[in-house]
Amino acid sequence: MIKNIKHVDEKVLTPQDTASISPADISKHYAKPVRGYAIISDMEGNVLETPNLVLLGGREFIAQKIADISSISSMPSSTDDLSKFKIRYFGVGTGGADTADTPNKIGPFDNDLDLIAPGKFADISYDTDDTPILSSRYQYIHDGKLKKIQSDNGGSIEILPENHNITINGEEIAVDAYTTIKYTMVINSQELYKESDENGPFSFNEAALYTVEYEDNVQSTNGNSYNIPATTDGSELSRYSARHRAFARFTTLTKWLEVKDSLKIEWFILV
């Protein structure tokens, strides 16, 4: 799918937060050197498109990756050396909108460090994740609050082409280049704590992409090597609490997820 980055299309979306993109939103979300948007859809085909914000901590991560050197960080989260970090996990939460009579989104803001109120996908951890295939482990880390993007049911990371309009000597030409990263993430119906208890169903209204520190070429008992979350103290248990940093975040008005509900997020980063 070719995407034109000369402008941001306004689409008729259901449900939708706003009828148009304001100049403030364009300045905040789109007029950035690295920008993006997310498309959220349920199993009935209802769609919401919303801008994301690549956070300052995420831009520090990009700077270190491009320069291939570590650097002092202005953000208090994670670590100064981000050279081994990879965007491989995501999280969702309930802190992205208020509960006023006329609801409002809260953020995102450039200096956000995390989700405001992260939800929990599942309880699987070091105690229960015993598959000998290391690449199949670590689907959930940090007490089940972060889920691996390249997980079950279609989770994937792709690089897609964009159509770039370039003016040379007064003549406009179109050039294709592979400058869009697409993260596809699936929330299954059995994930998240959505039981109808005193807290009610899950009030989805925020999501974040996470960079997680990785260790490459880790040998397993079956003789194969894998790239998996890095330890923090040398123990296998600590891989489930690997160092991480929020890369990008979006907020939306609340979408209530019942026990039977699934959700797909297609998150595009344009570079």
Annotated domain spans of the chain: 6-158+189-270
Condensed to tens digits (0 to 9), the pLDDT of residues 154-197 reads 899 999 998 888 888 888 999 999 999 999 999 998 898 876 55
| β pairing state of 156-168 and 263-270 | unpaired
Q: What is the mean pLDDT of residues 29-49?
A: 74
Q: How many residues does the chain have?
A: 271
Give the model's confidence band at 5: pLDDT under 50 very low, under 70 low, under 90 confident, else very high: very low
Q: Sign of the CA dihedral 72, 75, 80, 86?
A: negative
Check if the beta carbon of residue 229 is closer than 8 Å to that of residue 239.
Answer: yes
Three-state DSSP class for 265?
strand
Query: Does the pTM exceed 0.85?
Result: no
More confident position, 162 or 222: 162
The least confident of 6-10, 37-41, 51-55, 98-102 is 6-10
Q: Is the pLDDT of residue 33 over 70?
A: no
If we measure between CA atoms, which residue out of 93, 113, 108 comes closest to residue 254?
93
